[in-house]
Amino acid sequence: MTIRNIATQPIPGQKPGTSGLRKKVTAFMQPGYLENFVQSIFDSLEGSAGQTLVLGGDGRFYNRAAVQTILKMAAANGFGKVLVGRGGLFSTPAISCVIRKTGAFGGIVLSASHNPGGADGDFGIKYNIANGGPAPEKVTDAIYTRTGTITAYRISDAPDVDLDAPGTHTIENMTVEVVDPVADYAELMQRLFDFDAIRALFARGFTMRFDAMSAIGGPYAKAIIEGMLGAPAGTVVNGEPLEDFGGHHPDPNPVNAADLIGCMSGAAAPDFGAASDGDADRNMIVGRDFCVAPSDSLAVLAANATLAPGYRDGLAGIARSMPTSTAADRVAAGLGIRCYETPTGWKFFGNLLDAGMATLCGEESYGTGSNHIREKDGLWAVLFWLNILAATGKPVEAIVREHWARFGRNYYSRHDYEAIDSAAADALVTHLRAQLPSLPGQRLDDYMVETADDFSYTDPVDGSESQKQGVRIVFAEGSRIVFRLSGTGTEGATLRVYLERYEADSSKHDISTQTALAGLIAVAGRVADIAVRTGRNAPTVVT
Ligand code: G1P
Ligand code: ZN
């Protein structure tokens, strides 16, 4: 075995976005592309010599090859040990769990999350720090800067490790331990939730359909829901992780998980439905003929948190991303705790969780989680719901309707305009920003503008600042429109328009969401000049 120093040159565009570096897998497979980025990560770390790294991915195309390359580079860069999931697999939440449990130095997550996989799909790589969470911007900025000056990368010429053989292997002076990717995570879930009560629920004949969308959530859901909780075999569908996710777009929303939505309709439907995404950190919660909006899910979990053993002592605070609906704020107010509003992206929750200021966090993009790890966690949310269903004996729909009756309903929807021209998208945002000073006090149809700004955030823990995190127009009586461009897409630009309207009167909680928001949708289209600037008359995805 020899360590080689391979000369290389900077490759433009290796800038981490909302959640790591994401590109087409064909870009990642170019000579030196992965190596340059991994070396830039290693060069940006201080004190990593002899330390332990956790490594794995969601099993998409190129996962195995990338794991082998990274193992050889970690050895050449002086790491002492790498814990890698069997088969090179780990869900994103499980990596976070294992980093924390083992006190590892950090971890590398291979995933493009909810983006499609396969030979012409997307690939991604993300560095997580010792708290188990995504690296903060100062680290990702340093990595990006390094990608611009890199001249060589270090790699061992050792043979590939047998990733399917659990146990210890060696590359140069580094130990590679191939571990069960599920065990530590399952043990943590068992401590947080009342597994006896959920087991009894299934024993009474409660039925569920968990759609893992042929992604990494499958092995975790099968081991926990079917294995430990005794749900019948077949409760987890699409449970085998496939390199192309079986052609699924593993983004659990009612559009991409239409099959699950169909199964959840009618008298014969299961009591409870759920789905998770490519790397199993997102979740969708479905009742019989009833979809739970992710922002509502966060609020319901917060309001019922003490039913779960892990949260019996109550919540220190709640945090949500800025575009997420303010339903959770109303729960926080009721509980007398703070609700923090952060920019989009899970990395912004890390400091609040580390400082003990927040216990639950959530995003409107089907992401929910807590201080148990430092990533959002799909199966955790599903188990939390199961715990609530077991403790209350009520159906999903009743729980949400009672929540609305108590706190009011935040009608909420996100309209995405995908793969639009990047220059047109930038111009649209510039056009919006130019209007900000003149909007307050203006009446737009039925809506009076109270404030309008481009969201900026000062981290209350370390004082770091993040500017231009989304244009928001806030109206009287709790309605809002937020505009931002996606930081995870790999084709052109994606405009996200977030719409929210608050309704306290429970006799008005039965309107269909798009009808309830129609007035705001029209205002958004006009203020941002969406049709003309994007060339689209309708969004590509409505969730
Ligand atoms: C999207 C979601 C965001 C989430 C991120 C990673 O980012 O909107 O909430 O944290 O994926 O899962 P965006 O594409 O909007 O930048
Ligand atoms: Zn994900």
Three-state DSSP string of 266-298: CCCCCCEEEEECCCCCEEEEEECCEEECHHHHH
Distance CA 66, CA 215 (A): 18
Q: Pick from 478, 492, 363: which is nearest to 420 by CA? A: 492
Q: pLDDT at residue 489 above 80?
A: no
Paired residues of 320 in beta bridges:
341, 362
* 346 C-alpha to ligand 1 centroid (Å): 8
Tally of structural domains, the chain: 3
Q: Give the residue-averaged pLDDT of 210-236.
A: 98
Question: Which DSSP state fits 223?
Answer: I
Query: 467 exposed, middle or buried (CB, 10 Å; 0-12, 13-18, 19+)?
Result: exposed
Quickly state the pLDDT bin for 344 (edges 50, 70, 90). Answer: very high
Q: Give the residue-averaged pLDDT of 472-476.
A: 96
CATH number at residue 212: 3.40.120.10
Q: pLDDT at residue 27 above 90?
A: yes
Taking CA atoms only, the protein residue closest to ligand 1 atom 4 is: 345
Quickly state the pLDDT bin for 328 (edges 50, 70, 90). Answer: very high
Residue type present at position 375: E
Taking CA atoms only, the protein residue closest to ligand 1 atom 5 is: 345
- Known catalytic residue: 265? no
Q: Give the residue-averaged pLDDT of 267-283.
A: 97
* 159 C-alpha to ligand 1 centroid (Å): 37
Ligand 1 atom nearest the C-alpha of 496 is 15
- Same domain as 455, residue 413: yes
Q: Give the residue-averaged pLDDT of 368-379.
A: 98
Q: Write down the pLDDT at residue 490.
A: 75
Q: Write down the pLDDT at residue 199.
A: 98
- Same domain as 427, residue 386: no
Instruction: Output the ligand 1 site: residues, CB below 6 A.
Output: 18-19, 113, 321, 344-346, 363, 365, 367, 486-489, 496
- Same domain as 162, residue 190: no
* 408 C-alpha to ligand 2 centroid (Å): 30
Catalytic residue among 19, 91, 111, 113: 113
Q: Give the residue-averaged pLDDT of 374-403.
A: 98
Quickly state the pLDDT bin for 3 (edges 50, 70, 90). Answer: very high
Taking CA atoms only, the protein residue closest to ligand 1 atom 8 is: 365
Q: Pick from 451, 456, 425: which is nearest to 437 by CA? A: 451
Question: How many CB atoms neighbour CB 449 within 10 A?
Answer: 21
- Same domain as 20, residue 144: yes
Q: Which of 153, 180, 207 is the last residue of a domain?
A: 180
Q: Write down the pLDDT at residue 158.
A: 98
Ligand 1 atom nearest the C-alpha of 281 is 12
- Same domain as 287, residue 362: yes
Q: Write down the pLDDT at residue 108.
A: 98
Q: pLDDT at residue 351 above 90?
A: yes
Instruction: Please report, rounded to a whole number, the percentage of residues in the chain having pLDDT higher than 90.
Output: 96
Triad 188, 189, 193: Cα angle to 5°:
125
Phi and psi at residue 365, to the nearest 5°: -85, 40
Q: Give the residue-averaged pLDDT of 283-310.
A: 98
* 167 C-alpha to ligand 2 centroid (Å): 28
Distance CA 112, CA 488 (A): 8
Q: Write down the pLDDT at residue 268.
A: 93
Q: Write down the pLDDT at residue 477.
A: 85
Q: pLDDT at residue 235 above 80?
A: yes
Considering every ligand atom shown, identify the ligand nearest to the alpha carbon of residue 117 and give its number: 2
- Containing structural domain, residue 245: 185-407
CATH number at residue 465: 3.30.310.50
**DSSP-derived secondary structure for 41-75:** HHHH-SS-TT-EEEEEE---TTHHHHHHHHHHHHH
- Same domain as 453, residue 511: yes
**Three-class DSSP category at 489:** coil
- Same domain as 279, residue 199: yes
Q: pLDDT at residue 316 above 90?
A: yes
Ligand 1 atom nearest the C-alpha of 282 is 12
Distance CA 61, CA 543 (A): 27
* 277 C-alpha to ligand 2 centroid (Å): 6
Candidate of 92, 414, 488 to mutate for ligand 1, largest count of ligand atoms within 8 Å of Cβ: 488
